[in-house]
């Protein structure tokens, strides 16, 4: 058994330790679309950690020339009595032999070195396991609403189709994902890396907008490729930062991503980032080849369509939805960058509304802004202290309770929490 197949077999042993967890894998991504704190690939963190420890332990306990348990031939009797999980044999068969090395995946080239191939196969083993395949299936299904948009935008920009699966690695295609490090959105932009691609202020955070953040990510990835001239390096730069990657490549000229990774020049997360993407892209593009039941998105699938209406002063999404006789969830889904569920105090903000409702939405916005009594776009911040009430604040600042509610996306029944900042409109 060669080194690559040895790893695949050891991976299978580790994966087989998760039979109970596998039954509940789909539920992990079922609630996607709501604000939540996750780390990229959070659903598989424990699985991957266990696999790493199994590999290390197997290597430690193997004397030179000695076969590991993973290399021992599987005996029919052992399989029959359940001593050895038959999944070991299945996974080993599903991972391509060396003659079938992964060379080109949806526009990405893969080096034909033992290291590169073993790293890609490692993640293929994870995602062809029972738990891994269920999780991948749930993530791809969750992202269907946005995947076709991403695919067509990549095609327009002339970028590799494999990049469609980058949000799987980044956020599991969850548009409201927030990592522990503060990265947000489907493409996981850090706040210090959004300029000049996206905007963020007290009212909007375009990192949470799947359409605008996709355009931004494509620009950033293309710029990375223009700098490094290689997609593996460009992707690594997207993960660790273009500045850090540029410093590494300048100090180690003529070394590919795979050499930099193997020789320890890159952070662990970046080392695993690229092969993980390649494995996911290979399996997702060729599910039948690997015996996987994954959702297939046809190229001619329609992109979600919508209309725009321009707004001026702040207006509550709840009130707009009520005037339009639609659910407020619809407006929130179309405008996820509105962090306060209120249109911002700026002229010409483009509010997305369902296709065919632009005229109705325009009339609703005009009516609501007129009813607000011409409230100014200027406001003051007020930090809630003990004893504050909406009625009291309206008296203090000389405005209406409804104006405060509209500006902050709250109702008159909202409980004011100590320390929370409210925006108070000024006449």
- What does the pLDDT profile of the chain (427 residues) look like in tens digits? 544 444 444 444 444 443 333 333 333 333 333 444 445 455 556 555 555 555 445 444 544 434 333 333 323 233 233 332 333 233 333 444 455 778 899 999 999 999 999 999 999 999 999 899 999 999 999 898 899 999 999 999 999 999 999 999 999 999 999 988 889 999 999 988 888 899 998 889 999 999 999 999 999 999 999 999 999 999 999 999 999 999 999 999 889 999 999 999 999 999 999 999 999 999 999 999 999 999 988 877 778 889 999 987 788 888 899 999 999 999 999 999 998 888 887 778 899 999 999 999 999 988 887 776 554 556 777 888 888 888 888 887 777 888 788 777 788 888 888 888 888 876 5
406 and 277 assigned to the same domain: no
CA nearest neighbour of 36 among 217, 206, 238, 171: 171
Does 298 map to a domain?
Answer: no
Does 355 map to a domain?
Answer: yes
316-326 burial, b at 16+ Cβ within 10 Å, e below that, comes to bbbbbbebbeb
Total of domains in the chain: 2
Phi, psi of 422, deg, nearest 5: -110, 145
Domain boundary (290, 316, 339) is at 290
276 and 311 assigned to the same domain: no
404 and 258 assigned to the same domain: no
Task: Please give the Cα distance from 85 to 196 (Å, whole number).
Answer: 52
175 and 254 assigned to the same domain: yes
Which tokens in the block code for residue 99? Answer: 């003659």
Phi, psi of 34, deg, nearest 5: -100, 155
Does 215 map to a domain?
Answer: yes
Task: Please give the Cα distance from 214 to 361 (Å, whole number).
Answer: 26
127 and 266 assigned to the same domain: yes
For residue 349, the model assigns a pLDDT of: 87
Domain boundary (259, 290, 321) is at 290
Q: Which domain holds residue 203?
A: 3-290
251 and 395 assigned to the same domain: no
0.75 exceeded by pTM: no
Token pair 């100014």 in the structure block, residue = 376
For residue 271, the model assigns a pLDDT of: 94
Q: What Rg value do the Cα atoms of the chain yield, rounded?
A: 26
For residue 59, the model assigns a pLDDT of: 44
87 and 213 assigned to the same domain: yes
For residue 384, the model assigns a pLDDT of: 87
Longest dimension (CA), the chain: 85
Which tokens in the block code for residue 31? Answer: 């609630």
133 and 202 assigned to the same domain: yes
Phi, psi of 62, deg, nearest 5: -105, 120
Does 299 map to a domain?
Answer: no
Query: According to the 3-state scheme, what is the secondary structure of the chain?
Result: CCHHHHHHHHHHHHHCCCHHHHCCHHHHHCCECECEECCCCHHHHHHHHHHHHHHHHHHHCCCCCCCCCCCCCCCHHHHHCCCCCCHHHHHHHHCCCHHHCCCEECCEECCCCHHHHHHHHHHHHHHHCHHHHHHHHHHHHHCHHHHHHHHHHHHHHCCCHHHHHHHHHHHCCCCCEECCCCCECCCCECHHHCCCCCCECCCEEHHHCHHHHHHHHHHHHHHHHHHHCCHHHHHHHHHHCHHHHHHHHHHCCCCCHHHHHHCCCCCHHHHHHHHHHHHHHHHHHCCHHHCCCCCCCCCCCCCCCEEEEEECCCCEHHHHHHHHCCCHHHHHHHCCCECCCECCCCCCEEEEEECCCHHHHHHHHHHHHHHCCCCCCCEEEEECCCCCCHHHHHHHHCCCHHHHHHHHCCCCCCCCCCCCEEEEECC
Task: Please give the Cα distance from 392 to 380 (Å, whole number).
Answer: 15
Q: What angle do CA 75, 81, 86 make, to 5 degrees?
A: 60
272 and 373 assigned to the same domain: no
Which tokens in the block code for residue 399? Answer: 């405005």
Which tokens in the block code for residue 210? Answer: 């799947």
Contacts of 406 (CB under 8 A, 6+ apart): 314, 315, 316, 319, 342, 368, 372, 375
For residue 399, the model assigns a pLDDT of: 77
Exposed, middle or buried: residue 269 (CB in 10 Å: 0-12, 13-18, 19+)?
middle
Give me the sign of the Cα torsion angle 386, 392, 396, 400.
positive
**CATH code, domain with 352:** 3.10.350.10
For residue 305, the model assigns a pLDDT of: 87
- Chain centroid to CA 210: how far? 10
165 and 233 assigned to the same domain: yes
Domain boundary (265, 290, 315) is at 290
318 and 275 assigned to the same domain: no
Does 8 map to a domain?
Answer: yes
Does 301 map to a domain?
Answer: no
**CATH code, domain with 14:** 1.10.530.10
Does 300 map to a domain?
Answer: no
Does 165 map to a domain?
Answer: yes
312 and 229 assigned to the same domain: no
């Amino acid at each position: 058994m060669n080194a690559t197949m040895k790893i695949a077999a050891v991976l299978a042993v580790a994966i087989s330790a998760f039979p109970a967890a596998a039954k509940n894998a789909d539920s992990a991504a079922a609630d996607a679309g709501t604000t939540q704190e996750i780390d990229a690939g959070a659903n598989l963190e424990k699985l991957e950690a266990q696999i790493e420890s199994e590999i290390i332990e197997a290597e430690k306990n193997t004397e030179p020339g000695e076969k590991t348990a993973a290399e021992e031939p599987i005996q029919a009797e052992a399989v029959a009595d359940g001593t050895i999980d038959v999944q070991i044999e299945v996974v080993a068969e599903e991972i391509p032999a060396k003659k079938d090395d992964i060379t080109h995946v949806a526009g990405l080239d893969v080096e034909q070195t033992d290291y590169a191939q073993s790293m890609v196969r490692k993640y293929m083993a994870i995602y062809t396991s029972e738990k891994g395949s269920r999780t991948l299936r749930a993530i791809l299904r969750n992202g269907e609403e946005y995947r076709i948009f991403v695919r067509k935008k990549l095609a327009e920009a002339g970028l590799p189709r494999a990049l469609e699966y980058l949000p799987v690695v980044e956020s599991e295609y969850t548009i409201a994902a927030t990592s522990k490090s503060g990265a947000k959105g489907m493409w996981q932009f850090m706040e210090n890396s959004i300029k000049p691609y996206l905007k963020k202020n007290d009212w909007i955070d375009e990192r949470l907008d799947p359409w605008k953040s996709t355009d931004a990510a494509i620009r950033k990835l293309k710029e990375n490729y223009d700098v490094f001239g290689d997609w593996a390096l460009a992707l690594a730069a997207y993960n660790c930062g273009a500045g850090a990657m540029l410093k590494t490549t300048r100090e180690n000229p003529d070394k590919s991503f795979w050499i930099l990774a193997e020789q320890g020049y890159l952070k662990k997360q970046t080392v695993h980032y690229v092969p993980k993407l390649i494995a996911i892209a290979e399996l997702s593009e060729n599910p039948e080849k690997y015996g996987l039941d994954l959702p297939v998105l046809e190229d001619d699938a329609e992109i979600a369509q919508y209309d725009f209406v321009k707004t001026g002063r702040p207006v509550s999404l709840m009130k707009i939805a009520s005037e339009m006789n639609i659910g407020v969830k619809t407006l929130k889904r179309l405008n996820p960058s509105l962090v306060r569920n209120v249109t911002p105090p700026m002229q010409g903000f483009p509010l997305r509304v369902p296709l065919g409702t632009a005229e109705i939405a325009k009339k609703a916005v005009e009516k609501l802004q007129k009813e607000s009594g011409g409230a100014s776009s200027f406001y003051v911040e007020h930090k809630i202290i003990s004893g504050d009430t909406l009625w009291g604040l309206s008296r203090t600042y000389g405005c209406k309770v409804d104006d405060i509610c509209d500006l902050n996306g709250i109702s008159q029944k909202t409980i004011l929490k100590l320390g929370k900042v409210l925006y108070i409109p000024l006449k």
